Structure 1
């Protein structure tokens, strides 16, 4: 378990280092480049928050002898995360350490700008969620249309198969009736043939009888 926590700590160290580098880039860039760095660092902060949550869950399952040590480290990580968030906000607003010393007027202005930035970030996150939701809706709609198309094709296939079965059944019925007629004619012909044979035999017998009678 401690090995897993140490792995999380290494990941935290890497993420915090990346965030620090990105904050420096934000402070030293403008326009679209700056917005690109901001979006990247937002993703890094999301990953960092998820990592801290996972680390906290793992700490709960640690033995008592290790739990307090890692909890103390986690508190330190969270404090560092808050500091990085504050640094990022100042970098977005174009502030630096010297401006923090200009007095209460600058602080109030910074607070207003920070609140404005927070609102802007919330709006951006909301917009991204709406975009994601709209994309999911489009994908779902496309999937539903594809399913309906497949069902329609399957229904047509079933209908064609049913029509073929009906045609086959009709053909079989006709064939059965034709066979029945043929069998009747065959039976009739055999009966007639039998009658003819009997008649011939009768004639032959009668002829033999008459011939024999004459001789006697």
Structure 2
């Protein structure tokens, strides 16, 4: 039979592999590369962050099946995994912001030279406004994503509580059935003992009747002969 912690350990191992991949990308391609390669690396990081989030959710589900004596240690491991996930989400967000600023500065470098009367050209102002709007829109999307993630986490916690209650009900029903089986076994044993005693009494009664009949025959024989 598989260990009750086997699935948890498997999900945790997958999580650690995904986190390692995210760390390599954030410290490698997403940091060193430029242009579209850097954007592609960040997109891959976002996908892997979603996978890591899913692994954490699976770990939270599996911990419900771990015995109470072992559960505190695994809860600590889940907290550590969540902390790693949040840290790399923040690093990814900061890298996105840096990339947006770099794109903005790069577009400014190709614009015409501003004059003293107009330190920023009209094209620069348009790009600055567009970049600011893009950053604000990205911040709103991140906030919405965090809100949805929190709502999803709360719903997942409610589902886990419901599953835990159903599991306890099933456990109680199984215990009740086991007690009923034990009672039936005891009753069956008692009935068998009663049946054996009944047969024993029949044998004893038959023997007594046989002895009485024999005595009557002996008495009649003596009386008839004499």
Q: TM-score, structure 1 length as denominator?
A: 0.45
Structure with greater Cα Rg: 1
Q: Name the structure where helix makes up a greater proportion of residues.
A: 1
Q: TM-score, structure 2 length as denominator?
A: 0.44
